[in-house]
Amino acid sequence: MLFLAQTASNDFHGFLPTRGSVMLDFVFVALFAVIPVLASSIWLVKFRKPAELHKCEWHKWIQLALGAILLVAVTAFEVDMRFITKDWRSLAEASPFYASKIVDYSLWIHLCFAIPTPLLWIFVIVRALQKFPKPVAPCEYSSRHMMWGRIAATAMFMTAVTGWVFYWLAFVA
């Protein structure tokens, strides 16, 4: 009943009972799926036995799929912000954290991770595809990949956490 009343008064915009747009809601929810998949993909290679090369192959394809999803999500997000939702601020104005600029600060912190993350992912994926043999197996490039892979995975994790905080401050509170 409350849901219907709020829908009728146009307080809902996306599919979650918050002030977020469809795309903001989608990214908010999608990140809850992306993070466990990313963790599982790294877990596969980290705890494999040396002979279990099929786990490297799984890691490769999971990471390529996550990279493609990230690319589609970033593009859809940009299209939404520029052409469909346009003004996320009007959706966030009702937040008790809006006037004090806490919402703005949380967005800046989020962008510190969200902007470099796709660039890091492109770099890690392109270099891995160039350097690892086919079929995938550890090689002299492994240690560099592990370093950059950990940085790229951490950046993605931080993008998700800071994104969830921003979403909550702007569109839930």
Q: How far is the CB of 99 from ligand HEM (least distance, A)?
A: 38
In whole angstroms, the minimum distance from the beta carbon of 16 to ligand HEM comes to: 28
Nearer to ligand HEM, 31 or 91 (CB): 31
Q: Which residues bind ligand HEM (CB under 6 A)?
A: 42, 45-46, 56, 59-60, 63-64, 67, 121, 124-125, 128-129, 132, 136, 138, 142, 145-146, 149-150, 152-153
| Identity of the residue, 91 or 124, whose beta carbon is nearer to ligand HEM in the bound complex | 124
Minimum separation from the CB atom of position 89 to ligand HEM (A): 32
CB of 140 to ligand HEM, least distance (A): 10
Q: Which is nearer to ligand HEM, 53 or 81 (CB)?
A: 53
* 3-state SS, one letter per residue, for the chain: CHHHHHHHCCCCCCCCCCCCCHHHHHHHHHHHHHHHHHHHHHHHHHCCCCCCHHHHHHHHHHHHHHHHHHHHHHHHHHHHHHHHCCCHHHHHCCCCCCCCCHHHHHHHHHHHHHCHHHHHHHHHHHHHHHHCCCCCCCCCCHHHHHHHHHHHHHHHHHHHHHHHHHHHHHHHC
